[in-house]
Structure 1
């Protein structure tokens, strides 16, 4: 039987939002897995220290350094307002430095993560799904791409040894996950047999929120404005010379649709 040597995978920001899913996916696919963390994380956060010990027990090698990592928008394309603009500009500069240095890369454009946005039906100032009324930015008809964090991680890890992703942007754009806020609310209403009062907020009102809200709300309003009003996740076609789409490369992976993801919040 042919033995296939899996690439070693170094995951940066392993205690972060996507990092945990990446570790899980890497281990499940049999890759020698390394986690890059800051020593201060272990010293100052007992819960994260316990998590790191669990990773070590699972066979993950822990390394102590720090580098930036990237998931979310395609930072070379997205048009977004401050304060999010400056954050994404840093990622864009890192991309440029990587290209100029001739370092092989695959950038992941994962779009929106489901746990944050679907758990509140796209509302910024909410800690959960409302019972009576839902605030919808714009007219609610702008398409946005929202993906399961587990799917994002699986696609990312599979891309590691795939020559088709060499020096390319891997876009995670499953067809069933292109949805509008109106559609997402309708999905929820169908699942729960409840009707929510839809309160539509104009773009002008959202811009005022970005200017007047206390931190960190302006950042999240800027993200929401780019997605739910301007459609920045869906408003371009993939340039095949620089990018590839995850579901086209890996059609065997059954990704979770937005409609299915909502089940976890019922």
Structure 2
């Protein structure tokens, strides 16, 4: 059987790169990346472009905001994965419109590679409820298109969360910030593994019109357990500073808008426990779908 052609939109971004590399490494996939003329000409993108090209990712010229070029690119593939950033989430309807016109797309994965927030978290942060509606608006458009889709919730990125031992930010030196009691379980996943799970889900008929939660068992930990793992691996003891839910709410009000997402994520992961919500109808776990995937455990990553 010929490999399935997969186009990644946003392949030079943080998680997009990992998903494109995973597609290139999968024998059942042929990996493509949508690259605009502007991106191709940026010196700061040369390294990632070279990495993708060396891995076997093929480039298709096109732009999210140039409908004709987007349609032309989509006509050459059968699966499209969007990894665009927050500012472009609402514009994913352009991908859906182009996919309908192209007529070749058998699956769309929208840019949802993160943490599925509970209603408790959304409401606790006030205006975030309004912001989240931007992301939620994509799903009705997908359903209305009639094109099969799959959503992947990847939970926390280990590259962001591990240096601070659960606190998103710089590496810890002597003191760890602990959110709440430190006893709420979260899920931290290696970005390369997230790419692997995403490609598997994109090609899996069992995930059509479903949401896949990436939750490898050995990466489910409380923050206290994560700190203990690091202390054992590094042979040192960290001092601990506790930040309460109330303090996170205050941070959200006072932080610069560019980093206001940090207290929200810290609350969602380590206080509200949003990584391990009960799975509603239409949601499936990677544990059930892909038990044989060899993923990097937190103990290995520390």
Match for residue 135 of structure 2? 91
SS in 2 for 1:70: coil
Among residues 171, 174, 185, which one is paired with 1:128 in the alignment? 171
Contact 2:212–2:283 under 8 Å retained in 1 = yes
Match for residue 293 of structure 2? 253
Match for residue 157 of structure 2? 113
Match for residue 5 of structure 1? 2
Moved more, 15-24 or 55-64: 55-64
TM (norm. structure 1) is 0.87
Does 1:25 pair with 2:22? yes
- 2:118 & 2:242 partners in 1: Cα distance? 30
Higher relative contact order (CA 8 A, sep 6+): 1
Contact 2:166–2:223 under 8 Å retained in 1 = yes
Match for residue 182 of structure 2? 140
- 1:95 & 1:86 partners in 2: Cα distance? 16
SS in 1 for 2:196: helix
Moved more, 33-42 or 96-105: 33-42
Deviations 1:84-112 (A, max 9, x none): 54443222111121112222101001111
Give RMSD over aligned pairs. 2.1
The alpha-carbon distance between structure 1 residues 258 and 88, as it changes in their structure 2 partners (threshold 3 A), is farther
Does 1:176 pair with 2:218? yes
- 2:175 & 2:23 partners in 1: Cα distance? 40
Deviations 1:29-76 (A, max 9, x none): 132211123433333x31214532553453412332226422112368
SS in 2 for 1:18: helix
- 2:120 & 2:243 partners in 1: Cα distance? 22
For structure 2, list consecutive stretches of 5 or more residues without a partner in the other structure: 65-90, 93-110
Contact 1:143–1:180 under 8 Å retained in 2 = yes
**Bigger fraction of residues in helix:** 2
Contact 2:37–2:61 under 8 Å retained in 1 = no
Match for residue 157 of structure 1? 199
